[in-house]
Amino acid sequence: MSPLASYRRLFQLSGTTYVVIAFLARLPLAMAQLGTLLLVSTASGSYGLGGLSAGALAVANAVSAPFAGSLSDRFGQRHVVLAQSLAGAAALAALVALVHADAADAAVVAAAALAGLAMPQVGPLARVRWRPITARTGADQRRLVDVAFSYEGAADEASFAIGPALVGLGVVLVSPSGALLLAAGMLAVFGTAFALHRTARTRGGGAALATGRLWTPVLLVLVGAQLLIGMLFGATQTGTTALATAAGQPGVAGLVHAALGLGSALAGIATAFIPERIGPERRILVAVSALLVLSLPLLLVDGIAALVPVVAVLGCAVAPFMIGVFTLAERVVAPARVATAMTVLASATGLGYAAGSTIAGRLADEHGYTAAFGVTVSAMLLALVLVAGAQRMLRAALAAPPVLTPPPPERSPVTLHR
């Protein structure tokens, strides 16, 4: 089955409505991080506090995501995502209110953390739904799931292009507060729709309770890889914001950062055309090598016009890397733990974003935007060392099926759905 035919088949199986809802539901998280950074930085005049607030949101989201994923593995996604969507929307609105009330720095950071704690990780949970969606496709399922992961990687990256762009437009047309309130409204509407969609009734691991080994040396490597790619996001976004503000155009930061997501989304779609004989472990090695090389020009940019093409080209290596990481996890983790694994990887990305934005924010305050971009380059150097050193382990894990642990005989399957 060709990649184009595979894409058509996937969307026939899921329905166009689901694809649209799942995409729109992931935009608020992409908007919230930059929206918080701009809102707090503008109100306080400190990139350090803005980066700390955005980082607190990301860290809290990273902490809560595996627990939400574990609950979804056990009970299904419907009630979990519904509660998160409504609570997350309310928390974002509360953050805006506190900033407008000139609340103490600690209260603002705490509100950002509360918002992150509540917001759902739609992208990882959407990945989990593709296995049951394609369950009756026989021998084509493996290929369809791989193509679905390519699409999801592209959708994630597109969300991190469109999300910041919406924030940038919101800042220019309304205000940083308006941009964050837009994210809250979208989360309440589309997060709820994602939670209530019929695909939420299935669990990726089947009817049994979540069993099987989760933490392995391979998953730890993949978590480390996502942590470092998260640092790329956080540091690059903070450096872009500092450069745009220095140029007197802070609202342009979201539009500039969107170039990274756009390049990444296009590359993600194209990943489905890579021959199957080139395994995901080799793909991430090539991608991370490209990320290191393509991040170096960030140290030389001196204006927005120069930054846009550099960021856009850098983005072309992001999605192939992340798609390879998530594909590896889906193949080597016990099927009943896939939702947990996907959210753990998303959590690592959030933690990396927090570390990258916080470190880069402090460096930007003291030394300017070039120092912030130095964090991006350093993270990619570490990622190359990690992935290159783990190649043999990753190939061995792909060659062996995941080890499953049978569910305890005394417990019956549990579901919250009829």
Contact 60, 120 (CB under 8 A): no
Q: How many CB atoms lie within 10 A of CB 95?
A: 32
Report, in angstroms and rounded to the nearest whole number, the Rg of the chain calculated over CA atoms: 20
Amino acid identity at 208 = A
Task: Write down the number of H helices and E strands in the chain.
Answer: 17, 0
3-state SS assignment for residue 205? coil
Q: What is the pLDDT of residues 29-62, one digit of tens each?
A: 888 888 898 888 888 777 778 878 887 887 888 8
Amino acid identity at 185 = G
Backbone dihedral angles phi then psi of residue 119, each to the nearest 5 degrees = -70, 135
Residue bearing the bigger pLDDT, 262 or 404: 262
DSSP state of 208: S
Mean pLDDT (the chain, rounded): 82
Contact 360, 51 (CB under 8 A): yes
* pLDDT confidence of residue 213: 65
Amino acid identity at 175 = S
What angle do helix axes 304-315 and 318-332 make, rounded to 10 degrees?
A: 30
Domain boundaries, the chain: 3-399
Q: Is the pLDDT of residue 130 over 90?
A: no
- Distances in Å between the alpha carbon of 399 and those of 223, 334, 355, 393, 394? 20, 14, 34, 10, 9
Alpha helical stretches, state H, 278-390 = 280-295, 304-315, 318-332, 338-367, 369-389
Q: Is the pLDDT of residue 82 over 90?
A: yes
Q: Is the pLDDT of residue 315 over 80?
A: yes
Residue 15: left (phi > 0), alpha (psi -120 to 50), or beta? left
Q: Is the pLDDT of residue 92 over 50?
A: yes
Listed range (4-18, 54-68, 94-108, 244-258) with the worst mean pLDDT: 244-258
Q: Is the pLDDT of residue 418 over 50?
A: no
* Model confidence band, residue 64 (pLDDT cutoffs 50, 70, 90): confident
Fold of 3-399: Growth Hormone; Chain: A; (1.20.1250)
Amino acid identity at 166 = L
Amino acid identity at 218 = V
For the chain, what percent of residues have pLDDT higher than 90?
25
CA triplet 34, 40, 46: central angle to 5 degrees?
110
* Model confidence band, residue 202 (pLDDT cutoffs 50, 70, 90): low
Q: Is the pLDDT of residue 291 over 90?
A: yes
Q: What is the pLDDT of residues 212-253, one digit of tens each?
A: 567 788 889 999 999 999 999 889 888 888 888 887 776 677
Contact 32, 195 (CB under 8 A): no
